[in-house]
């Protein structure tokens, strides 16, 4: 089994695949708003973990904002004896202004996940109304000196922001090792994404791709009804006809290799030296996701897919929209956390 080096001499992954837990929160708000089919049971999450562990997966992604921290708590319960590589995030909400806010968030995440030191701690967004990305990198360096985190990561950063963060990390003494972004065949040919990927390669920053199958856009199970409610399609302002040539090419490669369309889309990420981050809500999704491992698309198939990839990237979103998202997400995080602290609305399906 190949080893993926995420940070020299420090963090290694057995396979290039990460599992996302956005939908593993347990509050009433998660049950009614985030998880359209209801919150997952601990048993289902355990079964997903067992399948992924058997395939060699060791990287799990979460955030303090997912279920107000209840996703982190669930991971802490599931891995109480032998935690894998946890990757969680700090949300730079407008009311968070100081290094002490950052440290308090790190300590709270450690407590929820039942660990002393977070392997990879991400800045969930580079935008803030008054604090620069360098300020938060300095905060991460202070936490690293206290043994609270091992390395820093980024999320939703463009080429310039990656370069600034890496330079700040070198200055303050914390390695910036990854950038988690929307990266898939839906936006591969975007100029902003291409520039960011080139900068990451130059600086040794690993790209972790969220929504690598477009939340179903690049799978065989897409229907017109699912299309109407698909978030990446709305974020990228896609039309139904926009994705048909791409889907046809993916399906052709899937039939050729005896794989599913989702497995082809994930393996395409891996061939580009990107770690796909997949959200798993069921045992079936977990099995299909790990099926992207242990084989490789040939070079011609990768080139064919590159040619039909789309070119609209979330990195091109205006700053006001990203600030609005962070603010809204911050409010939702506070509401979920308040419900959890009060013992209200803890909903887990059987």
Contact of 110 with 116, CB cutoff 8 Å: yes
Q: Do 76 and 34 contact (CB within 8 A), yes or no?
A: no
Q: Around Cβ 331, how many Cβ atoms within 10 Å?
A: 12
* Residue 217 included in any domain: yes
Q: Determine how many CB atoms are found less than 10 A away from the CB of residue 296.
A: 12
Per-residue pLDDT of the chain (350 residues; tens, 9 = 90+): 355 666 554 788 999 999 999 999 999 999 888 887 899 999 999 999 999 999 999 999 999 999 999 999 999 999 988 899 999 999 999 999 999 999 999 999 999 999 999 999 999 999 999 999 999 999 999 999 999 999 999 999 999 999 999 999 999 999 999 999 999 999 999 999 999 999 999 999 999 999 999 999 999 989 888 898 888 888 888 999 999 999 999 999 999 999 999 999 999 999 999 999 999 999 999 999 999 999 999 999 999 999 999 998 889 888 899 999 999 999 999 999 998 888 765 666 65
- pLDDT per residue as tens digits for the range 27-75: 999 988 888 789 999 999 999 999 999 999 999 999 999 999 999 999 9
The pLDDT, as a whole number, for residue 27 is 92
- CATH number of the structural domain spanning residue 153: 3.20.20.100
Number of domains in the chain: 1
Query: Cα separation of 265 and 218, whole Å?
Result: 7
Q: Report how far apart, in Å, the C-alpha atoms of 134 and of each of 25, 138, 159, 253, 272 are.
A: 30, 6, 15, 43, 29
Residue 236's contacts (CB-CB under 8 Å, 6 or more residues apart) are: 186, 187, 310, 312, 313, 314
Does 328 map to a domain?
Answer: yes
CA angle 281, 286, 288 (to 5 degrees): 120
Residue 131 belongs to some domain of the structure: yes
Domain presence at residue 103 = yes
CA 259, distance to chain mean position in Å, is 24
Beta-strand (E) ranges in the chain?
A: 4-7, 11-13, 18-20, 59-61, 85-90, 118-123, 149-155, 176-182, 206-210, 275-279
- Return d(Cα 17, Cα 13) in angstroms, integer: 8
Residue 285 lies in a domain: yes
Residue 9's pLDDT is: 45
Cα–Cα distance, 105 to 318 (Å, whole number):
27
> Per the domain annotation, does 348 fall within a domain?
no
Sign of the torsion formed by the C-alpha atoms of 330, 179, 276 and 113? negative
- Whole-number pLDDT of residue 1: 39
Is residue 350 situated within a structural domain? no
Which residues form the domain of 178? 4-342
pTM, two decimals, is: 0.95
- Identify whether 349 is part of a domain: no
């Amino acid at each position: 089994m190949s080893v993926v080096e995420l940070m020299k001499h420090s963090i290694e992954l057995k396979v290039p695949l990460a599992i996302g837990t956005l939908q593993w929160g347990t509050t009433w708000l998660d049950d009614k708003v985030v998880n359209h089919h209801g919150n997952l049971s601990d048993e289902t999450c355990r079964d997903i973990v067992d399948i992924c562990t058997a395939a060699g997966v060791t990287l799990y992604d979460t955030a303090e904002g997912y279920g107000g921290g209840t996703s982190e708590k669930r991971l802490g319960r599931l891995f109480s004896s032998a935690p894998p590589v946890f990757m969680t995030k700090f949300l730079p909400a407008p009311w968070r202004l100081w290094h002490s806010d950052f440290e308090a968030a790190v300590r709270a995440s450690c407590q929820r996940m039942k660990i002393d030191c977070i392997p990879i701690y991400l800045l969930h967004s580079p935008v803030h109304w008054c604090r620069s990305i360098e300020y938060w990198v300095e905060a991460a360096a202070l936490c690293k000196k206290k043994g609270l985190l091992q390395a820093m990561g980024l999320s939703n950063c463009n080429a310039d922001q990656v370069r600034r963060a890496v330079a700040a990390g070198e200055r303050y003494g914390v390695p910036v090792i990854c950038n988690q972004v929307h990266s898939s065949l839906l936006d591969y040919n975007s100029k902003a994404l291409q520039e960011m990927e080139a900068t990451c390669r130059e600086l040794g920053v690993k790209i972790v791709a969220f929504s690598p199958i477009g939340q179903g856009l690049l799978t065989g199970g897409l229907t017109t009804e699912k299309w109407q409610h698909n978030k990446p399609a709305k974020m990228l302002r896609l039309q139904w006809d926009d994705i048909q040539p791409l889907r046809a090419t993916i399906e052709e490669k899937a039939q050729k290799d005896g794989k599913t369309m989702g497995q082809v889309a994930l393996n395409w990420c891996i061939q580009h030296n990107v770690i796909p981050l997949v959200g798993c809500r069921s045992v079936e999704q977990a099995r299909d996701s790990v099926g992207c491992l242990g084989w490789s698309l040939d070079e011609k198939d990768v080139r064919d897919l590159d040619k039909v990839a789309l070119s609209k990237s979330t990195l091109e979103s205006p700053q006001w929209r990203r600030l609005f998202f962070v603010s809204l997400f911050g409010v939702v995080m506070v509401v979920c956390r308040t419900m959890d602290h009060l013992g209200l609305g803890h909903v887990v399906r059987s």
